[in-house]
Amino acid sequence: MDPLGARSQIVDVQSLPAWDQPQGVQDEEDEENCFREDDCNLTNQINSLTSPFAFRQDINGKIVLFNGDVALLNCTAIVNTSNEMLTDKNPVSNSIHRYAGPELKDELIKLKGCRTGEAKMTEGFNLAARFIIHTVGPKYKAKYRTAAESSLYSCYRNGMQLAKEHGMVSVGFCVVNTVKRAYPLEDATHIALRTVRRFLENHGENIETVVFAVTDVEEPLYLKLMPLYFPRSKKEEMTSLPFLPADIGNAEGEPVVPERQIRISEKPGNLEDDSGDDSLESDLGLVGNHAFARMEGDVDKQRKLILQGHVSEAAQQKQHQRNYNRWLCRARAEDLSDIAALKALYQTGVDRCGRTVMVVVGRNIPVTIIDMEKALLYFIHVMDNITVKEYVMVYFHTLTGEHNHLDTDFLKKLYDIVDAKFKKNLRAFYFVHPTFRSKVSTWFFTTFSVSGLKEKVHHIENLQQLFTCVLPEQIDIPPFVLEYDTRASGKIYSEVTSL
Protein backbone atom coordinates (compact mmCIF):
# COMPACT_ATOMS: atom_id res chain seq x y z
CA MET A 1 0.00 0.00 0.00
CA ASP A 2 1.28 3.46 -0.78
CA PRO A 3 1.06 6.38 1.73
CA LEU A 4 -2.34 7.42 0.44
CA GLY A 5 -3.77 3.97 1.07
CA ALA A 6 -4.23 3.14 -2.61
CA ARG A 7 -3.26 -0.29 -3.87
CA SER A 8 -0.10 -0.26 -5.98
CA GLN A 9 1.71 -2.67 -8.27
CA ILE A 10 -1.39 -3.84 -10.13
CA VAL A 11 -0.23 -6.03 -13.00
CA ASP A 12 -2.04 -5.84 -16.33
CA VAL A 13 -1.98 -9.30 -17.87
CA GLN A 14 -1.80 -7.75 -21.35
CA SER A 15 1.60 -6.33 -20.45
CA LEU A 16 3.06 -9.73 -19.53
CA PRO A 17 4.95 -11.73 -22.18
CA ALA A 18 3.10 -14.77 -23.47
CA TRP A 19 4.72 -18.18 -23.44
CA ASP A 20 5.42 -17.95 -27.19
CA GLN A 21 7.58 -14.83 -26.63
CA PRO A 22 10.27 -15.81 -24.09
CA GLN A 23 13.90 -15.15 -24.87
CA GLY A 24 16.11 -17.92 -26.13
CA VAL A 25 13.56 -19.60 -28.40
CA GLN A 26 14.76 -19.59 -31.99
CA ASP A 27 12.75 -19.36 -35.17
CA GLU A 28 11.88 -22.55 -36.98
CA GLU A 29 14.38 -21.85 -39.77
CA ASP A 30 17.24 -21.38 -37.30
CA GLU A 31 16.31 -24.57 -35.48
CA GLU A 32 16.27 -26.62 -38.64
CA ASN A 33 19.85 -25.50 -39.32
CA CYS A 34 20.89 -26.74 -35.89
CA PHE A 35 20.66 -30.33 -37.11
CA ARG A 36 23.92 -31.49 -38.59
CA GLU A 37 23.90 -33.29 -41.89
CA ASP A 38 25.42 -36.42 -40.36
CA ASP A 39 22.39 -36.66 -38.02
CA CYS A 40 19.84 -36.92 -40.82
CA ASN A 41 18.73 -40.40 -39.82
CA LEU A 42 18.13 -39.28 -36.22
CA THR A 43 16.28 -36.24 -37.46
CA ASN A 44 13.98 -38.38 -39.59
CA GLN A 45 13.28 -40.66 -36.65
CA ILE A 46 12.38 -37.73 -34.39
CA ASN A 47 10.14 -36.11 -37.00
CA SER A 48 8.29 -39.41 -37.50
CA LEU A 49 7.12 -39.36 -33.88
CA THR A 50 3.86 -37.74 -32.86
CA SER A 51 3.63 -35.82 -29.59
CA PRO A 52 0.32 -35.84 -27.69
CA PHE A 53 0.99 -32.14 -27.00
CA ALA A 54 1.79 -30.74 -30.40
CA PHE A 55 3.33 -27.33 -31.02
CA ARG A 56 0.44 -24.85 -31.12
CA GLN A 57 1.44 -21.23 -31.35
CA ASP A 58 -2.17 -20.11 -30.96
CA ILE A 59 -2.37 -21.86 -27.58
CA ASN A 60 1.07 -20.71 -26.46
CA GLY A 61 -0.02 -17.14 -27.15
CA LYS A 62 -2.70 -17.54 -24.45
CA ILE A 63 -0.30 -18.80 -21.75
CA VAL A 64 1.58 -16.54 -19.33
CA LEU A 65 4.02 -17.55 -16.59
CA PHE A 66 4.08 -14.84 -13.94
CA ASN A 67 6.33 -14.77 -10.87
CA GLY A 68 4.29 -12.73 -8.44
CA ASP A 69 1.13 -12.32 -6.41
CA VAL A 70 -2.00 -13.59 -8.16
CA ALA A 71 -4.06 -11.04 -6.16
CA LEU A 72 -2.43 -8.19 -8.12
CA LEU A 73 -3.43 -9.46 -11.56
CA ASN A 74 -5.79 -7.26 -13.53
CA CYS A 75 -7.76 -9.97 -15.31
CA THR A 76 -11.35 -11.16 -15.44
CA ALA A 77 -10.91 -13.70 -12.64
CA ILE A 78 -8.24 -15.06 -10.35
CA VAL A 79 -8.22 -18.41 -8.56
CA ASN A 80 -8.03 -18.70 -4.79
CA THR A 81 -7.05 -21.95 -3.06
CA SER A 82 -8.72 -22.64 0.27
CA ASN A 83 -10.19 -25.38 2.48
CA GLU A 84 -13.67 -26.88 2.52
CA MET A 85 -15.02 -24.09 4.73
CA LEU A 86 -13.32 -21.42 2.57
CA THR A 87 -11.48 -20.14 5.65
CA ASP A 88 -7.98 -21.42 4.96
CA LYS A 89 -5.07 -19.18 5.88
CA ASN A 90 -2.29 -19.57 3.33
CA PRO A 91 -0.14 -16.95 1.55
CA VAL A 92 -2.34 -16.87 -1.56
CA SER A 93 -5.66 -16.68 0.28
CA ASN A 94 -4.35 -14.16 2.81
CA SER A 95 -3.19 -11.84 0.05
CA ILE A 96 -6.49 -12.09 -1.83
CA HIS A 97 -8.48 -11.30 1.33
CA ARG A 98 -6.20 -8.39 2.19
CA TYR A 99 -6.66 -6.72 -1.19
CA ALA A 100 -10.32 -7.67 -1.72
CA GLY A 101 -11.48 -6.22 1.60
CA PRO A 102 -13.85 -7.45 4.34
CA GLU A 103 -16.79 -7.87 1.96
CA LEU A 104 -15.18 -11.03 0.60
CA LYS A 105 -15.35 -12.79 3.96
CA ASP A 106 -19.07 -12.00 4.25
CA GLU A 107 -19.69 -13.30 0.73
CA LEU A 108 -17.86 -16.56 1.42
CA ILE A 109 -20.13 -17.25 4.39
CA LYS A 110 -23.09 -17.27 2.00
CA LEU A 111 -21.44 -19.97 -0.14
CA LYS A 112 -21.56 -22.38 2.82
CA GLY A 113 -18.31 -24.09 1.97
CA CYS A 114 -16.93 -25.85 -1.09
CA ARG A 115 -16.18 -29.53 -1.58
CA THR A 116 -12.71 -30.75 -2.58
CA GLY A 117 -12.29 -30.42 -6.34
CA GLU A 118 -15.22 -28.04 -6.75
CA ALA A 119 -15.03 -24.39 -7.76
CA LYS A 120 -17.29 -21.54 -6.66
CA MET A 121 -17.27 -17.89 -7.65
CA THR A 122 -17.61 -14.53 -5.91
CA GLU A 123 -17.09 -10.93 -6.90
CA GLY A 124 -13.56 -9.54 -6.71
CA PHE A 125 -14.65 -6.53 -4.61
CA ASN A 126 -11.55 -4.29 -4.24
CA LEU A 127 -9.29 -6.49 -6.36
CA ALA A 128 -8.23 -5.54 -9.85
CA ALA A 129 -9.84 -8.83 -10.96
CA ARG A 130 -13.59 -8.73 -11.39
CA PHE A 131 -14.22 -12.22 -9.99
CA ILE A 132 -12.59 -14.75 -7.67
CA ILE A 133 -12.89 -18.47 -8.35
CA HIS A 134 -12.49 -20.40 -5.08
CA THR A 135 -11.39 -24.03 -5.20
CA VAL A 136 -10.28 -26.67 -2.69
CA GLY A 137 -7.26 -28.82 -3.43
CA PRO A 138 -6.98 -32.36 -2.06
CA LYS A 139 -4.95 -33.51 0.92
CA TYR A 140 -2.30 -35.86 -0.41
CA LYS A 141 -1.64 -39.35 0.91
CA ALA A 142 0.33 -41.88 -1.13
CA LYS A 143 -2.21 -44.67 -0.66
CA TYR A 144 -4.99 -42.38 -1.93
CA ARG A 145 -2.99 -40.96 -4.81
CA THR A 146 -5.62 -41.76 -7.45
CA ALA A 147 -8.31 -39.84 -5.60
CA ALA A 148 -5.97 -36.90 -5.03
CA GLU A 149 -5.04 -36.75 -8.73
CA SER A 150 -8.69 -36.76 -9.78
CA SER A 151 -9.57 -34.04 -7.27
CA LEU A 152 -6.70 -31.79 -8.30
CA TYR A 153 -7.64 -32.23 -11.94
CA SER A 154 -11.19 -31.19 -11.03
CA CYS A 155 -9.90 -28.01 -9.35
CA TYR A 156 -8.28 -26.78 -12.56
CA ARG A 157 -10.95 -28.15 -14.86
CA ASN A 158 -13.83 -26.64 -12.90
CA GLY A 159 -12.01 -23.32 -12.66
CA MET A 160 -11.61 -23.21 -16.44
CA GLN A 161 -15.21 -24.32 -16.92
CA LEU A 162 -16.50 -21.46 -14.76
CA ALA A 163 -14.39 -19.03 -16.77
CA LYS A 164 -15.85 -20.36 -20.00
CA GLU A 165 -19.46 -20.42 -18.80
CA HIS A 166 -19.29 -16.79 -17.67
CA GLY A 167 -17.57 -15.56 -20.84
CA MET A 168 -14.30 -14.62 -19.11
CA VAL A 169 -11.43 -13.66 -21.38
CA SER A 170 -8.61 -14.00 -18.84
CA VAL A 171 -8.06 -16.07 -15.71
CA GLY A 172 -5.11 -16.15 -13.30
CA PHE A 173 -4.31 -19.44 -11.54
CA CYS A 174 -2.39 -19.67 -8.32
CA VAL A 175 -0.71 -22.97 -7.54
CA VAL A 176 -3.71 -24.79 -6.08
CA ASN A 177 -1.81 -27.43 -4.13
CA THR A 178 -0.61 -25.76 -0.92
CA VAL A 179 2.29 -26.93 1.24
CA LYS A 180 -0.20 -27.51 4.04
CA ARG A 181 -1.95 -30.17 1.93
CA ALA A 182 1.35 -31.96 1.16
CA TYR A 183 0.77 -32.53 -2.57
CA PRO A 184 4.12 -33.20 -4.35
CA LEU A 185 4.80 -30.07 -6.36
CA GLU A 186 6.11 -31.78 -9.49
CA ASP A 187 3.19 -34.21 -9.74
CA ALA A 188 0.73 -31.38 -9.19
CA THR A 189 2.40 -29.22 -11.84
CA HIS A 190 2.01 -31.94 -14.45
CA ILE A 191 -1.73 -32.12 -13.71
CA ALA A 192 -2.15 -28.34 -13.76
CA LEU A 193 -0.37 -27.85 -17.08
CA ARG A 194 -1.93 -30.71 -18.97
CA THR A 195 -5.47 -29.92 -17.72
CA VAL A 196 -5.26 -26.30 -18.87
CA ARG A 197 -3.68 -27.38 -22.17
CA ARG A 198 -6.46 -29.87 -22.94
CA PHE A 199 -9.18 -27.42 -21.95
CA LEU A 200 -7.80 -24.75 -24.25
CA GLU A 201 -7.60 -27.29 -27.07
CA ASN A 202 -11.15 -28.50 -26.66
CA HIS A 203 -13.13 -25.61 -25.18
CA GLY A 204 -10.95 -22.51 -24.96
CA GLU A 205 -11.79 -20.65 -28.14
CA ASN A 206 -13.10 -17.60 -26.23
CA ILE A 207 -10.48 -17.56 -23.47
CA GLU A 208 -7.66 -15.21 -24.43
CA THR A 209 -5.23 -15.47 -21.49
CA VAL A 210 -4.42 -18.00 -18.78
CA VAL A 211 -1.82 -16.88 -16.22
CA PHE A 212 0.11 -19.28 -13.99
CA ALA A 213 1.12 -17.16 -10.98
CA VAL A 214 4.07 -18.79 -9.20
CA THR A 215 6.60 -18.07 -6.47
CA ASP A 216 10.40 -18.19 -6.62
CA VAL A 217 10.25 -21.80 -5.41
CA GLU A 218 7.71 -22.89 -8.02
CA GLU A 219 8.99 -20.98 -11.05
CA PRO A 220 12.01 -23.24 -11.89
CA LEU A 221 9.78 -26.32 -11.98
CA TYR A 222 7.18 -24.60 -14.17
CA LEU A 223 9.93 -23.46 -16.54
CA LYS A 224 11.18 -27.04 -16.71
CA LEU A 225 7.79 -28.70 -17.31
CA MET A 226 5.93 -26.16 -19.45
CA PRO A 227 7.81 -27.12 -22.65
CA LEU A 228 6.38 -30.64 -22.28
CA TYR A 229 2.80 -29.38 -22.57
CA PHE A 230 3.32 -26.06 -24.39
CA PRO A 231 6.27 -26.64 -26.74
CA ARG A 232 7.34 -23.40 -28.42
CA SER A 233 8.60 -25.00 -31.61
CA LYS A 234 8.52 -28.29 -33.47
CA LYS A 235 12.00 -29.07 -32.22
CA GLU A 236 11.06 -28.41 -28.59
CA GLU A 237 8.00 -30.62 -29.08
CA MET A 238 10.19 -33.51 -30.24
CA THR A 239 12.96 -33.06 -27.69
CA SER A 240 10.40 -32.90 -24.87
CA LEU A 241 8.65 -36.09 -25.93
CA PRO A 242 10.92 -38.54 -24.01
CA PHE A 243 10.34 -36.59 -20.77
CA LEU A 244 6.55 -36.80 -20.75
CA PRO A 245 5.21 -38.96 -17.89
CA ALA A 246 3.56 -42.29 -18.62
CA ASP A 247 0.16 -40.98 -17.47
CA ILE A 248 -0.82 -37.95 -19.50
CA GLY A 249 -4.55 -38.35 -18.85
CA ASN A 250 -7.36 -38.77 -21.34
CA ALA A 251 -8.51 -36.34 -24.03
CA GLU A 252 -9.55 -33.86 -21.30
CA GLY A 253 -6.37 -34.32 -19.23
CA GLU A 254 -8.22 -36.31 -16.57
CA PRO A 255 -6.13 -39.02 -14.85
CA VAL A 256 -6.71 -42.49 -16.27
CA VAL A 257 -6.81 -45.51 -13.97
CA PRO A 258 -6.32 -48.68 -16.09
CA GLU A 259 -7.93 -51.02 -13.56
CA ARG A 260 -11.12 -48.95 -13.73
CA GLN A 261 -11.48 -49.37 -17.49
CA ILE A 262 -14.15 -52.06 -17.68
CA ARG A 263 -13.92 -54.46 -20.60
CA ILE A 264 -17.19 -56.20 -21.38
CA SER A 265 -16.97 -59.60 -23.06
CA GLU A 266 -19.81 -61.78 -24.26
CA LYS A 267 -20.80 -64.43 -21.71
CA PRO A 268 -18.05 -63.85 -19.10
CA GLY A 269 -16.39 -67.04 -17.91
CA ASN A 270 -17.38 -68.88 -21.13
CA LEU A 271 -20.52 -70.15 -19.45
CA GLU A 272 -23.57 -70.97 -21.48
CA ASP A 273 -26.73 -69.03 -20.74
CA ASP A 274 -29.37 -71.62 -21.47
CA SER A 275 -32.16 -70.19 -19.44
CA GLY A 276 -33.93 -66.93 -19.99
CA ASP A 277 -35.60 -67.14 -16.56
CA ASP A 278 -32.44 -67.07 -14.44
CA SER A 279 -32.58 -64.69 -11.53
CA LEU A 280 -30.52 -61.49 -11.38
CA GLU A 281 -28.43 -62.98 -8.60
CA SER A 282 -27.36 -65.94 -10.74
CA ASP A 283 -26.50 -63.62 -13.62
CA LEU A 284 -24.30 -61.53 -11.35
CA GLY A 285 -22.64 -64.68 -10.12
CA LEU A 286 -21.40 -65.48 -13.63
CA VAL A 287 -19.23 -62.37 -13.72
CA GLY A 288 -16.87 -63.14 -10.87
CA ASN A 289 -16.51 -63.62 -7.15
CA HIS A 290 -14.65 -60.45 -6.14
CA ALA A 291 -16.56 -57.39 -4.92
CA PHE A 292 -15.84 -55.20 -7.93
CA ALA A 293 -16.93 -57.83 -10.43
CA ARG A 294 -20.23 -58.36 -8.63
CA MET A 295 -21.17 -54.73 -9.26
CA GLU A 296 -22.01 -55.40 -12.91
CA GLY A 297 -24.14 -58.02 -14.61
CA ASP A 298 -25.44 -58.44 -18.12
CA VAL A 299 -26.64 -54.88 -18.74
CA ASP A 300 -29.09 -55.77 -21.50
CA LYS A 301 -30.59 -58.53 -19.39
CA GLN A 302 -30.98 -56.21 -16.42
CA ARG A 303 -32.87 -53.72 -18.56
CA LYS A 304 -35.15 -56.49 -19.80
CA LEU A 305 -35.85 -57.61 -16.25
CA ILE A 306 -36.54 -54.03 -15.17
CA LEU A 307 -39.15 -53.70 -17.92
CA GLN A 308 -40.72 -56.97 -16.79
CA GLY A 309 -40.73 -55.82 -13.17
CA HIS A 310 -38.51 -58.69 -11.98
CA VAL A 311 -35.65 -56.63 -10.55
CA SER A 312 -35.33 -55.48 -6.96
CA GLU A 313 -35.57 -51.82 -6.05
CA ALA A 314 -31.87 -51.72 -5.13
CA ALA A 315 -30.89 -53.09 -8.54
CA GLN A 316 -33.11 -50.54 -10.26
CA GLN A 317 -31.48 -47.75 -8.29
CA LYS A 318 -28.02 -48.94 -9.36
CA GLN A 319 -29.12 -49.07 -12.99
CA HIS A 320 -30.59 -45.57 -12.70
CA GLN A 321 -27.39 -44.27 -11.09
CA ARG A 322 -25.27 -45.68 -13.92
CA ASN A 323 -27.57 -44.07 -16.47
CA TYR A 324 -27.38 -40.69 -14.70
CA ASN A 325 -23.58 -40.91 -14.52
CA ARG A 326 -23.44 -41.40 -18.28
CA TRP A 327 -25.48 -38.23 -18.77
CA LEU A 328 -23.28 -36.37 -16.29
CA CYS A 329 -20.09 -37.44 -18.09
CA ARG A 330 -21.56 -36.23 -21.38
CA ALA A 331 -22.57 -32.94 -19.78
CA ARG A 332 -19.04 -32.33 -18.49
CA ALA A 333 -17.46 -33.11 -21.85
CA GLU A 334 -19.92 -31.23 -24.10
CA ASP A 335 -19.52 -27.61 -25.19
CA LEU A 336 -22.63 -26.01 -23.67
CA SER A 337 -21.63 -22.37 -24.01
CA ASP A 338 -24.54 -21.62 -26.37
CA ILE A 339 -27.04 -22.85 -23.76
CA ALA A 340 -25.25 -20.99 -20.95
CA ALA A 341 -25.48 -17.77 -22.98
CA LEU A 342 -29.29 -17.90 -22.78
CA LYS A 343 -29.13 -17.16 -19.03
CA ALA A 344 -32.20 -19.31 -18.51
CA LEU A 345 -30.78 -21.12 -15.45
CA TYR A 346 -28.58 -19.60 -12.79
CA GLN A 347 -27.79 -19.68 -9.09
CA THR A 348 -28.64 -16.69 -6.91
CA GLY A 349 -28.70 -16.33 -3.10
CA VAL A 350 -30.47 -18.32 -0.39
CA ASP A 351 -34.06 -18.39 0.85
CA ARG A 352 -35.19 -17.49 4.37
CA CYS A 353 -34.25 -21.01 5.52
CA GLY A 354 -30.70 -20.71 4.14
CA ARG A 355 -31.28 -23.03 1.17
CA THR A 356 -29.68 -22.37 -2.22
CA VAL A 357 -32.01 -20.66 -4.72
CA MET A 358 -31.87 -21.64 -8.40
CA VAL A 359 -33.69 -19.48 -10.95
CA VAL A 360 -35.26 -20.62 -14.23
CA VAL A 361 -36.38 -17.91 -16.67
CA GLY A 362 -39.01 -19.36 -18.99
CA ARG A 363 -38.91 -16.50 -21.47
CA ASN A 364 -35.20 -17.17 -22.11
CA ILE A 365 -35.79 -20.74 -23.32
CA PRO A 366 -36.39 -20.74 -27.10
CA VAL A 367 -37.69 -24.32 -27.12
CA THR A 368 -38.41 -24.42 -30.85
CA ILE A 369 -34.92 -23.42 -32.02
CA ILE A 370 -32.42 -24.86 -29.52
CA ASP A 371 -31.13 -28.39 -29.06
CA MET A 372 -33.22 -29.58 -26.13
CA GLU A 373 -30.89 -32.48 -25.40
CA LYS A 374 -28.08 -29.98 -24.88
CA ALA A 375 -30.42 -28.01 -22.64
CA LEU A 376 -30.98 -31.16 -20.59
CA LEU A 377 -27.20 -31.73 -20.39
CA TYR A 378 -26.68 -28.14 -19.26
CA PHE A 379 -29.31 -28.53 -16.53
CA ILE A 380 -27.57 -31.66 -15.23
CA HIS A 381 -24.15 -30.01 -15.40
CA VAL A 382 -25.22 -26.94 -13.44
CA MET A 383 -27.44 -28.69 -10.92
CA ASP A 384 -25.31 -31.71 -10.01
CA ASN A 385 -23.31 -29.88 -7.34
CA ILE A 386 -26.28 -27.79 -6.16
CA THR A 387 -28.50 -30.76 -5.39
CA VAL A 388 -26.16 -32.39 -2.86
CA LYS A 389 -27.92 -30.31 -0.22
CA GLU A 390 -31.39 -28.75 0.17
CA TYR A 391 -32.33 -26.19 -2.49
CA VAL A 392 -35.35 -24.40 -3.94
CA MET A 393 -36.22 -23.38 -7.48
CA VAL A 394 -37.90 -20.21 -8.66
CA TYR A 395 -39.45 -20.43 -12.13
CA PHE A 396 -40.42 -17.13 -13.77
CA HIS A 397 -43.25 -17.93 -16.17
CA THR A 398 -43.55 -14.21 -16.85
CA LEU A 399 -44.39 -13.27 -20.47
CA THR A 400 -43.59 -16.71 -21.87
CA GLY A 401 -44.98 -17.55 -25.29
CA GLU A 402 -45.79 -20.78 -27.10
CA HIS A 403 -42.15 -21.07 -28.21
CA ASN A 404 -41.03 -21.07 -24.54
CA HIS A 405 -43.25 -23.85 -23.21
CA LEU A 406 -41.46 -27.07 -22.27
CA ASP A 407 -43.60 -30.02 -23.31
CA THR A 408 -44.61 -32.73 -20.86
CA ASP A 409 -42.50 -35.42 -22.56
CA PHE A 410 -39.32 -33.40 -22.07
CA LEU A 411 -40.12 -32.67 -18.42
CA LYS A 412 -40.93 -36.34 -17.81
CA LYS A 413 -37.64 -37.37 -19.42
CA LEU A 414 -35.75 -34.87 -17.29
CA TYR A 415 -37.47 -36.08 -14.13
CA ASP A 416 -36.71 -39.71 -14.96
CA ILE A 417 -33.03 -39.09 -15.76
CA VAL A 418 -31.91 -36.92 -12.85
CA ASP A 419 -30.33 -38.45 -9.79
CA ALA A 420 -32.41 -39.19 -6.67
CA LYS A 421 -30.73 -36.29 -4.85
CA PHE A 422 -32.43 -33.83 -7.24
CA LYS A 423 -35.85 -34.95 -6.02
CA LYS A 424 -34.96 -35.60 -2.39
CA ASN A 425 -33.29 -32.24 -1.73
CA LEU A 426 -35.73 -30.04 -3.68
CA ARG A 427 -37.73 -28.40 -0.91
CA ALA A 428 -39.92 -26.01 -2.92
CA PHE A 429 -40.71 -25.04 -6.52
CA TYR A 430 -42.04 -21.48 -6.78
CA PHE A 431 -44.03 -20.94 -10.00
CA VAL A 432 -44.10 -17.15 -10.46
CA HIS A 433 -46.76 -15.37 -12.55
CA PRO A 434 -48.64 -18.52 -13.63
CA THR A 435 -51.47 -18.41 -16.16
CA PHE A 436 -54.65 -20.47 -15.88
CA ARG A 437 -53.36 -22.79 -18.60
CA SER A 438 -50.03 -23.29 -16.88
CA LYS A 439 -51.77 -24.08 -13.57
CA VAL A 440 -53.86 -26.76 -15.27
CA SER A 441 -50.81 -28.22 -17.05
CA THR A 442 -48.85 -28.28 -13.81
CA TRP A 443 -51.68 -30.03 -12.00
CA PHE A 444 -51.91 -32.75 -14.66
CA PHE A 445 -48.13 -33.21 -14.77
CA THR A 446 -47.67 -33.48 -11.01
CA THR A 447 -50.75 -35.68 -10.63
CA PHE A 448 -50.33 -38.20 -13.46
CA SER A 449 -46.72 -38.00 -14.72
CA VAL A 450 -44.54 -37.71 -11.61
CA SER A 451 -44.96 -38.50 -7.95
CA GLY A 452 -43.89 -36.61 -4.86
CA LEU A 453 -43.64 -33.22 -6.57
CA LYS A 454 -47.16 -31.88 -6.27
CA GLU A 455 -46.88 -30.74 -2.65
CA LYS A 456 -43.65 -28.87 -3.42
CA VAL A 457 -45.13 -26.67 -6.17
CA HIS A 458 -46.33 -23.22 -5.05
CA HIS A 459 -48.00 -20.80 -7.45
CA ILE A 460 -46.85 -17.24 -6.78
CA GLU A 461 -49.05 -14.49 -8.22
CA ASN A 462 -46.70 -11.56 -7.57
CA LEU A 463 -43.22 -10.80 -6.31
CA GLN A 464 -44.43 -9.66 -2.89
CA GLN A 465 -45.57 -13.23 -2.27
CA LEU A 466 -42.18 -14.51 -3.43
CA PHE A 467 -40.38 -12.14 -1.05
CA THR A 468 -42.07 -13.83 1.91
CA CYS A 469 -39.99 -16.90 0.98
CA VAL A 470 -36.88 -15.32 -0.54
CA LEU A 471 -35.64 -11.88 0.49
CA PRO A 472 -35.35 -9.38 -2.41
CA GLU A 473 -31.58 -8.97 -1.92
CA GLN A 474 -31.13 -12.76 -2.22
CA ILE A 475 -32.55 -13.19 -5.72
CA ASP A 476 -31.49 -11.77 -9.08
CA ILE A 477 -34.75 -10.96 -10.90
CA PRO A 478 -34.71 -10.17 -14.65
CA PRO A 479 -35.73 -6.54 -15.35
CA PHE A 480 -38.68 -7.52 -17.54
CA VAL A 481 -40.12 -9.56 -14.64
CA LEU A 482 -39.87 -6.54 -12.31
CA GLU A 483 -41.49 -4.30 -14.92
CA TYR A 484 -44.33 -6.76 -15.55
CA ASP A 485 -44.97 -7.25 -11.84
CA THR A 486 -45.10 -3.48 -11.27
CA ARG A 487 -47.63 -3.03 -14.07
CA ALA A 488 -49.75 -5.98 -12.96
CA SER A 489 -49.75 -4.90 -9.31
CA GLY A 490 -50.65 -1.33 -10.29
CA LYS A 491 -53.53 -2.56 -12.44
CA ILE A 492 -54.92 -4.68 -9.61
CA TYR A 493 -54.61 -1.76 -7.19
CA SER A 494 -56.46 0.61 -9.52
CA GLU A 495 -59.26 -1.93 -10.00
CA VAL A 496 -59.65 -2.34 -6.25
CA THR A 497 -59.75 1.40 -5.60
CA SER A 498 -62.31 1.94 -8.38
CA LEU A 499 -64.63 -0.48 -6.59
Q: How many domains does the chain have?
A: 3
Q: Is the pLDDT of residue 39 over 80?
A: no
Q: Within a domain: residue 39? A: no
Judge if 320 and 299 occupy the same domain.
yes
Judge if 198 and 222 occupy the same domain.
yes
Distance (Å, whole) CA 170 – CA 166: 11
Q: Is the pLDDT of residue 37 over 60?
A: no
Q: Is the pLDDT of residue 462 over 70?
A: yes
- Which of 224, 243, 262 is at the close of a domain? 243
Q: Is the pLDDT of residue 407 over 90?
A: no
Judge if 437 and 367 occupy the same domain.
yes
Residue 257's pLDDT band (cuts 50, 70, 90): low
> What integer is the mean pLDDT of 249-276?
57
Task: Output the domain CATH number for residue 203.
Answer: 3.40.220.10
Residue 335's pLDDT band (cuts 50, 70, 90): confident
Judge if 187 and 325 occupy the same domain.
no
- The pLDDT tens digits for 352-385 are 998 999 999 999 999 988 899 999 999 999 998 8
Compute the C-alpha angle 241/247/251, nearest 5°. 90
Q: Name the phi and psi angles at 197, rounded to 5.
A: -60, -50
Q: Is the pLDDT of residue 83 over 50?
A: yes
Q: For the CA atoms of the chain, what is the radius of gyration?
A: 27
Q: Within a domain: residue 1? A: no
* pLDDT reported for residue 290: 43
Judge if 162 and 209 occupy the same domain.
yes
DSSP class of residue 334?
S
Distance (Å, whole) CA 467 – CA 489: 14
Q: Within a domain: residue 262? A: no
- Which of 243, 262, 297 is at the close of a domain? 243
- The pLDDT tens digits for 40-54 are 544 454 455 578 999
Residue 302's pLDDT band (cuts 50, 70, 90): low
- Which of 225, 243, 261 is at the close of a domain? 243
Judge if 452 and 304 occupy the same domain.
no
Percent of the chain with pLDDT over 90: 54
Ordered DSSP codes for 18-70: PTTS-TTPPPHHHHHHHS-GGGHHHHHHHHH---SS---HHHHTTEEEEES-G
Judge if 153 and 197 occupy the same domain.
yes
Judge if 364 and 432 occupy the same domain.
yes
Q: How far apart are the first and last CA of the chain?
A: 65
Q: Within a domain: residue 379? A: yes
Judge if 307 and 353 occupy the same domain.
no
Average pLDDT of every residue of the chain:
82
Compute the C-alpha angle 272/275/279, nearest 5°. 105
Distance (Å, whole) CA 106 – CA 128: 19
Judge if 309 and 423 occupy the same domain.
no
b (16+ CB within 10 A) / e for 17-32 = ebbbeeeebeeeeeee
* pLDDT reported for residue 229: 96
Q: Within a domain: residue 17? A: no
Judge if 226 and 279 occupy the same domain.
no
Q: Within a domain: residue 140? A: yes
Domain that holds residue 289: 275-333
Task: Output the domain CATH number for residue 464.
Answer: 3.40.525.10
Judge whether 470 and 349 are in contact, CB under 8 Å: yes
* pLDDT reported for residue 144: 83
pTM of the model: 0.52
Q: Within a domain: residue 256? A: no
Judge if 233 and 194 occupy the same domain.
yes
Q: Within a domain: residue 120? A: yes
